[in-house]
A and B are shown apart, each in its own frame.
Chain A
Amino acid sequence: MADIAVTEVSKGLRDAIARLESGENMESTGVVTRVGDGVAWIHGLRGAGYAEVLEIQTKKGVIEAFALNLMEDEIGAVLLGDDKNVVAGDAVKLKGVVLDVPVGPELLGRVVNPLGQPLDGGPAIKTKETGLVERAAIGVMGRKGVHEPLMTGIVSIDAMFPIGRGQRELIIGDRQTGKTAIALDTMINQGRQKTGVVNIYVAIGQKLSKVARLVERLKQEGVMDQTIVVATGPSDPASLLYLAPYAGTAMGEWFRDNGKHALIIYDDLTKHAVAYRQMSLLLRRPPGREAFPGDVFYLHSRLLERSAKLSDDLGNGSLTALPIIETQAGDISAYIPTNVISITDGQIFMETDLFYQGIRPAISAGLSVSRVGGAAQTKTVKSVAGGLKLGLSQFRELAAFAQFGSDLDEATKKQIERGQRLTELLKQAQYSPLSIWEQTASIFAVNEGHFDNVSREKIKDAQAALLARLAKEHGKEMDALNTGDEKVETDSAIGKLLAKVAEATAKGFEG
């Protein structure tokens, strides 16, 4: 018995040694000459390619880096791990691959770092496929116009600045204006409305406590099983912050390329640009405006170009991007905000003033725009959104006169009153995205004047009562409306039904 065990052990050992034999060939090697601030300078390895992975053999094991500066005398490489263990004189080998991350459905429900390693304490992630972190965006012929809606569940966005699948819509605003809240509500809505859209949340240098809270919320709402969180904290090396959005996009592209739909949120690209600035300055690349390197536009344009709606031939999948940018004191003409505004297909601008006036979500109707989403809006919402936009824009023009009160003529007064009610209606609590029929019925009731006798303070209560009543008494009609294919007009059957119920509901809230 003991004999067999011994032969097995020796066979196993021999096999293991055989696997270790690296062949008879010489391997090309370089040597670390300088290291510090997460950057290593390497002599030799003249065969290294751009963004190729290098393995630095330190006393405490192998640390990976990727080559970003290929110069005459040396290579500047950014370390993917701790620089404490790397010392000058360490040998460096080429791994022979460019960076890739695990991709596929196995990642759903997980929190990972930009290298695809789990951060949630769960088991190691084994996927069948890997995706390139840096990959060229799909070409012209592989694309199609954006035409399907991606419902955020937020009335003001879905009605006024609709987002389509494959669109890139920027969320921009100062700190503490509810940018992440919009992204989070959109993710929750994908679960509530069972759209089947996969969420990918990329936290770039976000406080880990914030990420933990977000994951907790997603779990509570039951959306985590269709979500991937790629998390990096403020204490991670700049190289990981730089890679995070590209890694997240690679994970999203798997769904896009397999005929599925995915939504990716980059929270936020301001920190991404800052991390890239740090790396570039340490690599001694010349600084430009605001000390950002010359290719900071390309940094974001090549990232966002990968979000697309694919053609029928390629399976019709889509990747929708909601990048977030944080401004300083509402200044959207700073370098990074203007860059990303010009790259994306529209922006949702959040205003601090509105936020403190209690208008939440604090979306600025004047500065926000969606350049392609109109084609993707559902017929149902579109049929009532026109009136909403008109009512609000008339209100904005007249709002300055609102303080004169009784001195105004009847028509003006009426428009102001309507505008105030519409503004009230667009207020929406966090974590309460609305479905298509809920949005349509609410807008219809206010816009058609059925709530004109309800005081401003009671609009939200009246809305809740209307929706409860409709769900209870007319469930079938509302389900039909929820498909989004039916137009709502005042003289159509559904319009008459909504008007009738709205009038009846308003009675209870008058005065």
Chain B
Amino acid sequence: MHGKLSRRKLAQYVAERVREGQVPESVIQEVAAYLVETRRLREMPLVVRSIEDALAERGVVVATVTSARPLTTTLRDAVKAQAGDEEVYLREVVDPSVIGGVRVQTPDASYDGTVQHKLQALRAAKV
């Protein structure tokens, strides 16, 4: 077997395949097998992040949206527009502790418009 593949290379491979239309399950199985064989299971969360990164580079973005109440369709469209990529998939999290507003996290960027964040910032600024 050839030398250690970097996470970036691995992620790019997965992203390419998925974009080419290959069934994601088969690619994922392949990568899982590779990680087991090379004893790199501990890197799994990072590999997932890298895959999301690589997909984002190709215009496919998985965004985590946190809000206090479930999103309405209009809001969902607005969030998708904000992310600005061709294909946006939303992973929706409802968390009452954010009080209001939304927090959007994409692999390499974030936007925090929650009331919770503003309160924290106010506290830090000691107004």
Contacts and interface: CB of A to CB of B under 8 A. Distances in A.
B49 A44 contact: yes
Contacts, number: 54
Interface in B104-127: 104-112, 118, 121-122, 124-125, 127
Contacts of B122: 16-17, 20
Given A72-B8, A73-B8, A16 B106 contact: no
Interface in B70-126: 82-83, 104-112, 118, 121-122, 124-125
Interface string A15-33: 0110110101111111101
Contacts of B118: 17, 20
Contacts of B58: none
Nearest to B109: A26
For the complex of A and B, the 4 pairs showing the least CB-CB separation, nearest first, are A26-B109, A16-B127, A29-B110, A28-B109
A81 B106 CA distance: 28
B104 A26 contact: yes
Interface residues of A, number: 24
A448 B110 CA distance: 80
A87 to B, nearest CB: 15
Interface of A: 12-13, 16-17, 19-20, 22, 24-31, 33, 43-46, 61, 72-73, 91
A46 B108 contact: yes
5 contacts: A31-B49, A44-B49, A44-B53, A73-B6, A91-B110
Interface of B is mostly: helix
A24 B112 CA distance: 9
Contacts of A26: 82-83, 104, 106, 109-111
B95 to A, nearest CB: 16
A12 B106 contact: no
B20 to A, nearest CB: 23
A27 B125 contact: no
Contacts of A27: 109-111
Contacts of B104: 26
A13 B127 contact: yes
B35 to A, nearest CB: 15
Given A20-B118, A27-B110, A73-B6, 15 more contacts: A16-B125, A16-B127, A19-B125, A24-B82, A25-B111, A26-B83, A27-B111, A43-B46, A43-B49, A44-B53, A45-B108, A72-B6, A73-B7, A73-B8, A91-B110
A43 B46 CA distance: 8
Contacts of A16: 122, 125, 127
Nearest to A29: B110
Given A26-B83, A72-B6, A73-B8, A20 B125 contact: yes
A33 B46 contact: yes
B127 A61 contact: no
B50 interface: yes
Contacts of A44: 49, 53, 107-108
A28 B6 CA distance: 23
Interface centre among A26, A27, A44 (most CB of B within 10 A): A26
Contacts of A24: 82, 111
Given A16-B122, A16-B127, A44-B53, A28 B108 contact: yes
B108 A29 contact: yes
Interface in B41-87: 46, 49-50, 53, 82-83
Contacts of B8: 72-73
A45 B53 CA distance: 11
A20 B6 CA distance: 39
B108 A73 contact: no
Contact of B109 (A29, A33, A43): A29
A73 B111 contact: no
A29 B49 CA distance: 13
A61 B124 contact: yes
A72 B118 CA distance: 34
A59 to B, nearest CB: 11
A25 to B, nearest CB: 7
A33 B7 CA distance: 14
Nearest to A31: B49
A20 B125 CA distance: 9
A46 B122 CA distance: 29
A20 B83 CA distance: 21
Contacts of B107: 44
A33 B125 CA distance: 28
